Structure 1
Amino acid sequence: MTSTITATASLLPTATGQLSTQPPITQIIPILRATFSLLRTFLSQALRVVVALATPLLIFVPLISRLLAPVILVFHIVLDATVYTPYTIISNVAAALYPLYMFCGVACIFGAVLGILGRSLVTLSNNIIAPELPKATESLQALSMRPRKRRRKSSFTENS
């Protein structure tokens, strides 16, 4: 009898058993927090080192910009003539023609919907008023099944 009591008691969860069954995400969060903190510290220190090393090079920036000024100016003129001006013209024309574009688009869509609706209503009314007779469709099919004889065109005309 005592053996059954101890066996059931060992199956009950204890306080230490509950601590070891925590979800794995709770164990990963402190590791991720420490990793991101270390990464942030490293990046901020690396940025300080790069700025400290690049500061003396800022003396050369005005000199380089003055030397490259003619190239930059030519590049700007070419870009203005080939990209900016055509883009401005096209966008202004599109803005001016937008009402006409919308009117024609709406008219085409409305015309297509009206035509489809009208055709379906006429077909429906024809089927209600005068349904097709089966004999007429059979005779039409028989006519269309006959092979047609084709005339050969001669390569020579009568006048030549």
Structure 2
Amino acid sequence: MTSTVTAIASLLPTTTGQLNTQPPIAQIIPILRSTFGLLRAFLSQAPRVLVALATPLLIFVPLISRLLSPVILVFHIILDATVYTPYAIISNVAAALYPLYVFCGIACISGAVLGILGRSLVTLSNNLIAPELPKATQSLQGLSMRSRKRRRKSSFTEDS
């Protein structure tokens, strides 16, 4: 009996060695929370550090822009002549012709729909009025299938 009591007593948790009942995900949460906190602190200070490092380089910006101004001006003129002006002309012409384009498009679509609808109605009415059409072979039975030769009339006659 004493052996069973000691076996049961050894299975019960004691104050010094309690069983860990937390899931593994609960142990990762504090680690992730501290990692993201450090990352947020670093990213909040990164713009200030970049501005502090780049401030001395801002002295060279006016000098570089003055040296490159002829190249920039040439590129601006080329872009203005080859891209901006044709785009403005095409967009203005398209805006001016838009009502005509829409009118012609609607006219074409309406004509196609009316043509298809009219053809369908005529076919339907013909099938209702005269379901069987006379066969073409019966009407052509009197004609010979042999090709006939035509005599040519010459411009020169034998009498002359």
Report the TM-score when normalising by structure 1. 0.63
Larger helix proportion of the pair: 1
Superposition RMSD on alpha carbons, in Å?
3.1
Q: Deviations over 1:78-133 (max 9, x none)?
A: 00000000000000100110010000000000001101110111111111111126
Which residue of structure 2 lines up, in the alignment, with residue 42 of structure 1? 42
Indicate the SS of the match to 1:131. Answer: coil
Q: Which of structures 1 and 2 has the larger relative contact order (alpha carbons within 8 angstroms, sep 6+)?
A: 2
In structure 2, relative to structure 1, the CA distance for the partners of 1:121 and 1:80 (3 Å cut) is: same
1:20 shift after superposition = 6.1
> How many correspondences in the alignment?
119
* Letter of the 1:57 counterpart: L
Between Structure 1 and Structure 2, whose CA radius of gyration is higher? 2
5+ residue gaps in structure 2?
A: 1-20, 139-160
- Cα distance change, pair 37–127 in 1 and its aligned pair in 2 (3 A): farther
CA distance in 1, matches of 2:111, 2:40: 63
What is the deviation of 1:27?
8.2
- CA distance change for structure 1 residues 72 and 118 in 2, over 3 Å: closer, same or farther? same
- Alpha-carbon separation, structure 2, partners of 1:29 and 1:128: 81
Q: Distance in 1 between matches of 2:77 and 2:98?
A: 30
Q: Distance in 1 between matches of 2:69 and 2:78?
A: 14
Q: C-alpha deviations, 1:123-146, integer Å up to 9, x for none? A: 11111111126x839x59xxxxxx
Is residue 78 of structure 2 the alignment partner of residue 81 of structure 1?
no
Percent identical: 81
Decide whether aligned partners of structure 1 residues 130 and 35 sit closer, same or farther in structure 2, where only a CA change above 3 A counts: farther
